[in-house]
Structure formats: C-alpha cells, structure tokens
C-alpha cells in the first residue's frame, strides 16, 4: 500500500538520546540500542520500525518485555508505557555477511559498512525510522578490526559521540583494515578539522584529488554560502560495493570507490570531474540535508535539489560555467526529460510512493535543481542570498518542508510564489511555443505554454516560466542584453521597441527553464546564432538544434546535410578563440536516444536502426568534411607535459579525442592505434580505444587493455562497458551475454552489473534491436538480481521506460518482458512498483 504525503502526521514520540553498541561478527552482529524516549501525552502505542532483526531482548526502564515483532516492526502497547520519559533497551542480532541488498549494515571485501538512507536503519535496530525524529547519538563498536568509525567526534577507540541531533538515515558505521589519507583544515572561525579519506591499503595513492576537492568544497561553502563545518573530524570512506554514488552521513561520508579513487593512469577526465562534484555534493549536504533535514521523504527534493544546485554552482566556479551548463542540460534532457515523457513521470515533490528508493530520480535531483535555478533568476542574486540566509537561520536543527523553503523566499523578497509552487507539484516538461512578429522597429514575441498530461495528472495549469532572451542585430551585435521575461499565462506577448532592423532572437538563454521550445527556425538563423550569439549556452544550443534538424531529415527522408552545416562546424572546430571543451561539445552529435525522444515528440515513431544508420552517416559526412585539417588540430592538441586534471587540460583532451574519433572514420584507425599505444593517461587510452571500437576494430587493443588492467576493478568496469557500448547493434546481446560468463563478472557488485547492463541499455540501437534479444537478456538478469539486490534491480529496470515511444512490435516485446518480471514469485517491493508503474501506462 502506498504512503501518501496527505497522510503525514508528526511523530507522537521524541527520542532525546540514542546509545548504540555494536559487537561485530560477520554472521551474527549484536546491536544494543538504548533509546531515551519522551512519551506523547496522547496515550498511544509506541511503534518502532524494524526489518530482518532477530530480537534477543527488550527492556523498558530495566523491566523485560515479552513482545513479538511483526514483518515491519514492533508495537509496544500504550498500556506497557509509563507516563513521561523512559528508556527502552533492545538487543538484536543481524547478519551483515548475508546482506546482499547493501542496505543497513553489510560487508564488502572484509569491511563492515552501512547505508541507511532512506530506510536502512530499520535493518540495524528497532527505531522510529523517519527523518523528523532527530536525536544525538553515542556509538560504541567492538571488533578486532583496526579502524572503527561512526558519526561525530571520536571519544576513544571504537567510541563516537555526535552532538548534532540527526535522523536515523544519517547514521553510519564503518569497520575495517583501512588506512587514511589525511589533511587538516581550519575553518573561517578557526576550528581545526582533521580530514581523512579511508581506503584499503592498495588504494592509498589514489586519494589526493578527492582530498583536494574536499578542501576546495569546504572553503567554497564558507565563501559563497557562509557555511562552516561543525565537527572536529570529517571522514570519507571508499567502498567497492555500493548501490548509489555516495552518502552524506554526518561526519562520515561513505562513497562508492569509483567517486573517490583517481590517478592519471586509471581515471578519465570525466571521472575526475565527477569525483570533484560528488565530494562537493556530499560535503554540502552537511548544511542542506543534515543541519536542515527533511520532514518526510516527500520533501526529498528539499535537500537533493538544493544540494545539486549548489554542487553545480561549485563545479562552474571551479571549471567553466558555460561548459558546465551545457553538460548539465545534456544530462537533464537525456534522463529527466525522458522520465517526464514516459510512464515514470512524477512531480519534483511526489505525492505517494510504495518504495521511496524508487524516487531518487533525475526529476527529484536534477529538475529539483532546475527549479531552484529558476527561482534565483526570478528573485535575483541578492534575493536568493537573503532567502538562503533566512533559511539557514530559521530552520537550522529542523526537519523542514518545501512550504518552509518557499516561505523564506516570499519573506525575503516579498514575492508571491503560489503559482511558482506548481513546479513542485506538477510533473511533465512544459512546451513553450514561440512566434515572432516584426514591423518598423517593433518586435513582438508571442509565447504560449502547453503543459502536457502525465500519469495521474490529466490537466495542469500555467506555470511561471522565466525566459531569458537577448536580441542580436543582423551584423551579430547584441542590441538587447539578456533580459528575463516572465511567462505566467497560457499565452502572453512581449514587445521590444526602437529596433533599427529586424533582430535575431536568442531565446531561453542559459537554458533558463526546463522546457521544450517549439519554434520554427531556419538553418541559416541557427548557423548565424552558432557563429554570433553572445550567450555561450545558446551558441552551443543553436549548433545542437541545427544538427538535430538535419539528422531528423536524414532519418525521415535520407537527405544529407548541406554545405552550410559543414562550414559552420568547421568554423567552430578550428576557432582557437573558443574554449576547446566548448568545441568538443559542439562536435558531439545528438545521441540516438535523444533523437528518438525528439522524433517521438514531433509525432514520429522512431526507428532505432534508421536513427543509428543516419547518425553514423552524419559522422562520416562530418569526418570527410574536416579530414584535411584534423591531423594539424591533433598535433596542436597533443600535450607533451605530465597529465593534470584541470579543466583547461581536460578540455584540450576532449577536443583531441573528438577529432581523433572523426579521423578514425577516414584513416582506418591508424592514428587511434598509435595514440592508444603511447597513451600515458586513462582519458587518452580509453578515448583511443573507443575510437577503434566505433569503427569495428580494436579487438587486439581490448586484449592488451585487459592484460594491463585486469587487477584494477574500476578500470575493468570501463573495459566491460566499452565493448558493449560501442558494439554493432546486431552483436550487442550476444556480446553482453558472453561477458556475463567472464570470470570477473560478479552480479553482487553494483558497479560491475551497471558496467554491463547500463551499457546494454545505453547502446540504443542494440538494446532496441528488432529481435528483442536485448530486452530478454536484461529482463532475465533483472529477475536474478532482484533476489539479491532489489534497489539496483529496480533502478536498472528504467531502461524499459521508453517503451511507449516505440512501434507496436517493440512495445509488445517490452510489455511482455515487464509482465514476465512482474509475475516473478517473491518479487521485491522495489521492482514490483517499477514494473507496475511502467505497465500502468499500457
Ligand atoms: N543522499 C545520497 C545523495 O544524494 C543518495 C542516497 C541514495 N540512497 C538511496 N537509498 N536511494 O547524495
Ligand atoms: Zn544528495
């Protein structure tokens, strides 16, 4: 049965203090929990959550209680409860070695670790496992292992005390044979903080970049948000088996090792950028998430949307705002727009769920961040700063709601946000239709917004949409700098006077709102904006839109792109006045999935095979057109010096790999082969290998790669991914299946499972091959994985969420697989809810 936002009731119980004692053993860990509880005056039963716990004893103020838990917890009848405060002590036994779900307390390569968000603490002990119950925790850990960690400040070997009241989902424990990469940080007000990144022995020399990122994050949050760290130590632990990216447990962040460990030889530039972003993200949660937490899980976007917004700002400040914005929008469209367009569409603040883990989505995270970006544009930088100061001052130590969040903006700025709030409650991507009229120095933009129906939400009302526009003269001069139009009605017109000539309109600059623009723009105008727009995002967007228009024509009527496109692409590719990273982004053609989404939105039934063929053809056209000048470009970009992970160097490598990929299409892979052989860093090594695989070569290089990196699990994940991602469509299922038989495939490791099946789903033409073999293979493995790890199985099942845009044959095949999964005996709540929702649209 679903949980509903409308049913929220404050907890009748307060926990004033928690003392936990762990006696660690792989097959029988005992957990003793002493809870100091203040009773409700209402005379209600006390309900504690608990799952998979063997209850050994239960005492209330020292007196034994003989109660039996049910499947989901324990009820202590009101009649057994004293008036006023009391102490409840439970002893339970759990089996961390058998915990393959990686939720609660589990083991990974001999190390104990925890993951409690969202509802994993109930797999550790009986407790009111809800975020609005906050308490200070003391923890004692007994074990022979040398390193014993928990939240807060150290209080002796294996003892920790966390002075900051926190919800149970922020609890963490780690025990293992680990070593620390350490540093020291002094906060703005002079508090000394010990920083440690804990890893296994062999990974010690892979921690420097994560540490550097942490220190920069701590400084940045002081300087930009005025937020200081609040404990004497900050610990980060890297673990190999982890369902998500990382977790912001108070003072003890736990990370998937792929988002901590890096060296030039083993990590790519993208890996470095992600490590920087995720280290920052988890650190920023200390204020937006931990000091101010969520009242209930419906408010998840309160912490996640804001923290994503903050980490995006940080990465922009550290690197390039233009490039970061383009990358974020690419991601938003690929994942969130896709989610919004299918059966899994849900509001940024959902109103009901069966399994909350299914709502850690692109909508909650990335659209949640977009909503904050819009809010900031509407109230301005000063308004935003004032509102955030008020938010921290007013809600520190509280479990807050979206209403609380919007109220600080209303009070700080005087703006009424009642209509804006619809961004939180209504799912779906708005479409904004734009037409323009020009007459004698006078321009009118007619804007119309269309809010399409989504599951459970047939009708919607107009939203507040900030639309940033600028106007350019026909010579490419900016005649109107960026101005924000506020579209609030279903239709609205905006006028501009005193123009000397008909201007070129640059609309939705910086992607000022997560909407789909519908506007008929000719190729010449797009090429003009690609050349002249002063807004870097829109400059890229113009090239992108042009490529999409042309690719759509290639798919639907087989027409090759004309010489204008080549001229524009050539101009950007070889323009040394532009950032190399930007040029690399312009060279990246729209993905097949993106094209399928776009064609579907335009009323076509996309054919994955036709899209694949057309896109390859377009790449060949581009390669041939640029071929003569590529060797010089490659030579100019060849960095002789030692590898550095900074944005400028990474941008040069990105352009170099984009050029190499094109050249490979005309030189049979000769340059890529040489590059692979001499590569001294993973970005170039893996980049060159991908170039070869793309042209159907690279078998020998794959073998050499495996020989070189067979012992490095993170690098081997890349090896698995690459050969599936770049395989020809008709070979993908077979190749994937063969790799599941490889000695190094371990379905219990989520990174490895994702390396293989994430790649299968990402190979658009291969996954959607007409023989249905990939669909069957993924379904088989989701069923297998679900028995071990429901959370990761449910997440991977979203590969099927695009079924409704397919032709009837593919729709039937996908529905068949989803129906087969749903009928599996003992299916988890996680995967059950996902298949139900995906089939619900049928
Ligand atoms: N709060 C974590 C983060 O964004 C993610 C934890 C997700 N956990 C889960 N069970 N879905 O940084
Ligand atoms: Zn987060």
pLDDT in tens, 651-671: 999 999 999 999 999 999 999
Mutation choice for ligand 1 from 113, 243, 247, 795, CB with most ligand atoms inside 8 A: 247
CA distance linking residue 457 with residue 464, whole number of Å: 18
Distance 835 CA to ligand 2 centre (A): 25
Contacts of 510 (CB under 8 A, 6+ apart): 325, 468, 482, 535, 537, 538
Q: Active-site residue numbers?
A: 282
Strands 431-439 and 442-450: antiparallel
Record the pTM. 0.99
- Using alpha carbons only, give the angle 218, 219, 223 rounded to the nearest 5 degrees: 120
Q: What are phi and psi of 837, to 5 degrees?
A: -65, -40
> What band does 363 get if pLDDT is binned at 50, 70 and 90?
very high
3-state secondary structure of 248: coil
Q: Side-chain half-sphere of 531: how many Cα atoms within 13 Å?
A: 20
pLDDT of residue 641: 87
Look at ligand 1, atom 5, and give the residue with the nearest C-alpha. 247
Residue 244 Cβ < 6 Å to ligand 1 = yes
pLDDT at 634 over 70: yes
What burial letters (b/e) apply to 322-358, b meaning 16+ CB within 10 Å? Answer: bbbbbbbbbebbbbbbbbbbbbbbbbbbbeebbbbbb
Residue 355 Cβ < 6 Å to ligand 1 = no
Mutation choice for ligand 1 from 101, 113, 244, 362, CB with most ligand atoms inside 8 A: 244
| Ligand at shortest distance from the CA of 279 | 1
pLDDT of residue 376: 98
Residue 684 Cβ < 6 Å to ligand 1 = no
Q: Beta strands of 230-303 (E only): which ranges?
A: 233-239, 246-247, 252-256, 293-294
CA distance linking residue 456 with residue 445, whole number of Å: 33
Residue 280 Cβ < 6 Å to ligand 1 = no
When pLDDT is averaged across residues 432-461 and rounded to a whole number, the result is 97
Residue 80: beta bridge partners?
Answer: none
Contact 251, 169 (CB under 8 A): no
pLDDT at 69 over 80: yes
Q: Which residues surround ligand 2, an ion (CB under 5 A)?
A: 304, 307
As given in the structure block, the two tokens for residue 693 are 């695989």
Contacts of 429 (CB under 8 A, 6+ apart): 337, 340, 341, 452, 514, 515, 516
Report the residue count for the chain: 842
Q: Which atom of ligand 1 is nearest to 356's Cα?
A: 11
Nearest to 233 by CA among 195, 190, 187: 195
pLDDT of residue 639: 82
| Cβ atoms within 10 Å, residue 261 | 28
User: Each residue of 397-411: pLDDT tens digit?
Assistant: 999 999 999 999 999
Burial (CB < 10 A; 0-12, 13-18, 19+), residue 5, is middle
User: Each residue of 205-252: pLDDT tens digit?
Assistant: 999 999 999 999 999 999 999 999 999 999 999 999 999 999 999 999
- CA distances in angstroms from 659 to 560, 633, 680, 694, listed in the order given: 21, 8, 18, 14
> What band does 640 get if pLDDT is binned at 50, 70 and 90?
confident
CA distance linking residue 209 with residue 267, whole number of Å: 11
Alpha helices in 257-318 (DSSP H): 269-284, 300-318
As given in the structure block, the two tokens for residue 617 are 């053809």
Q: What are phi and psi of 663, to 5 degrees?
A: -60, -35
CA distance linking residue 5 with residue 296, whole number of Å: 8
Nearest to 150 by CA among 127, 134, 168, 129: 168
- CA distances in angstroms from 11 to 41, 164, 505, 738, listed in the order given: 12, 19, 54, 52
Residue 366 Cβ < 6 Å to ligand 1 = no
Residue 198: beta bridge partners?
Answer: 180, 237
Residue 247 Cβ < 6 Å to ligand 1 = yes
pLDDT at 842 over 60: no
CA distance linking residue 536 with residue 532, whole number of Å: 10
């Amino acid at each position: 049965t679903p949980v509903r936002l409308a049913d929220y009731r404050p907890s009748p119980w307060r926990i004033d203090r928690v003392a936990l004692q762990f006696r660690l053993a792989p097959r029988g860990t005992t957990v003793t929990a002493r809870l100091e509880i203040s009773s409700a005056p209402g005379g209600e039963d006390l309900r504690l959550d608990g799952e998979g716990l063997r209850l050994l004893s239960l005492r209330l103020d020292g007196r034994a209680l003989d109660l039996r838990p049910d499947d989901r917890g324990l009820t202590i009848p009101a009649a057994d409860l004293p008036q006023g405060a009391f102490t409840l002590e439970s002893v339970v036994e759990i089996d961390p070695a058998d915990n393959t779900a990686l939720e609660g307390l589990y083991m990974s390569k001999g190390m104990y670790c925890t993951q409690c968000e969202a509802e994993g603490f109930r797999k550790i002990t009986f407790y009111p496992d809800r975020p609005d119950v906050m308490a200070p925790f003391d923890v004692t850990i007994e074990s022979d292992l040398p390193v014993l960690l928990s939240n807060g400040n150290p209080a002796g070997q294996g003892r920790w005390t966390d002075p900051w009241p926190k919800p149970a989902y922020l609890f963490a424990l780690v025990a293992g044979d680990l070593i620390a990469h350490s540093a020291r940080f002094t906060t703005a007000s002079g508090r000394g903080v010990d920083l440690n990144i804990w890893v296994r022995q062999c990974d010690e020399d892979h921690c420097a970049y994560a540490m550097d990122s942490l220190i920069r994050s701590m400084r940045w949050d002081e300087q930009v948000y005025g937020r200081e760290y609040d404990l004497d130590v900050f610990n980060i632990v890297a673990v190999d088996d982890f369902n998500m990216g990382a977790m912001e447990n108070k003072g003890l962040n736990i990370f998937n090792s792929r988002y901590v460990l890096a060296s030039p030889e083993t990590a790519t530039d993208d890996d470095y950028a992600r490590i920087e972003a995720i280290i920052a993200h988890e650190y920023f949660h200390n204020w937006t998430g931990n000091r101010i937490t969520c009242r209930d899980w419906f408010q998840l976007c309160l912490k996640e949307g804001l923290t994503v917004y903050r980490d995006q700002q940080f990465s922009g400040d550290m690197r390039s705002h233009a490039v970061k914005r383009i990358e974020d929008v690419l991601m938003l469209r690929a994942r969130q727009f896709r989610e919004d367009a299918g059966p899994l569409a849900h509001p940024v603040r959902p109103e009901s769920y069966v399994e909350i883990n299914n709502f850690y989505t692109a909508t909650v995270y990335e659209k949640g961040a977009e909503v904050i970006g819009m809010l900031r544009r509407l109230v301005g930088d000063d308004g935003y700063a004032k509102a955030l100061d008020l938010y921290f001052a007013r809600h520190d130590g509280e479990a807050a709601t979206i209403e609380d969040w919007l109220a600080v903006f209303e009070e700080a700025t005087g703006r009424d946000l009642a209509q804006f709030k619809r961004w939180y409650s209504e799912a779906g991507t708005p479409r904004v239709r734009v037409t323009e009229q020009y007459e004698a120095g006078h321009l009118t933009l007619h804007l119309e917004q269309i809010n399409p129906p989504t599951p459970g939400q047939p009708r919607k009302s107009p939203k507040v949409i900030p639309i940033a526009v600028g106007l350019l003269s026909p010579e490419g001069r900016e005649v109107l700098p960026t101005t924000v139009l506020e579209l609030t009605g279903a239709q609205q017109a905006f006028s501009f006077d005193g123009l000397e000539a008909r201007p070129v309109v640059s609309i939705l600059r910086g992607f000022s709102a997560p909407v789909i623009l519908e506007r008929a723009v000719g190729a010449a105008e797009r090429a003009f904006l690609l050349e002249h727009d002063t807004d870097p995002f829109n400059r890229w967007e113009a090239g992108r839109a042009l490529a999409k228009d042309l690719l759509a024509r290639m798919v639907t009527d087989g027409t090759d792109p004309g010489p204008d496109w080549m001229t524009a692409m050539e101009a950007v590719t070889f323009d040394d006045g532009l950032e190399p990273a930007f040029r690399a982004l312009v060279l990246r053609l729209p993905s097949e999935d993106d094209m399928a989404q776009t064609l579907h939105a335009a009323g076509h039934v996309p054919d994955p095979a036709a899209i694949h063929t057309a896109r390859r053809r377009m790449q060949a056209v581009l390669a041939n057109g640029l071929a003569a000048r590529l060797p010089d470009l490659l030579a100019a970009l060849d960095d002789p010096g030692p590898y550095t992970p900074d944005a400028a160097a990474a941008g040069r490598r990105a352009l170099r790999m984009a050029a190499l990929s094109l050249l490979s299409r005309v030189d049979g892979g000769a340059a890529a082969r040489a590059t692979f052989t001499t590569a001294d860093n993973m970005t170039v090594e893996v980049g060159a290998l991908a170039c070869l695989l793309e042209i159907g070569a690279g078998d020998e290089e794959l073998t050499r790669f495996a020989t070189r990196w067979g012992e490095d699990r993170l690098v081997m994940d890349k090896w698995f991914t690459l050969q599936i991602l770049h395989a020809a469509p008709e070979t993908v299922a077979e190749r994937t299946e063969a790799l599941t038989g490889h000695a190094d495939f371990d379905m219990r490791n989520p990174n490895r499972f994702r390396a293989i099946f994430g790649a299968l789903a990402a190979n658009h033409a291969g996954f959607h091959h007409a023989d249905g073999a990939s669909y069957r293979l993924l379904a088989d493995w989701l069923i297998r994985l679900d028995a071990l790890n429901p959370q990761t199985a449910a997440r991977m099942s979203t590969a099927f969420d695009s079924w409704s845009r397919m032709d009837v044959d593919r729709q039937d095949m996908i529905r068949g697989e989803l129906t087969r999964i749903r009928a599996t005996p003992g299916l988890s709540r996680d995967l059950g809810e996902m298949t139900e929702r995906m089939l619900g649209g049928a």
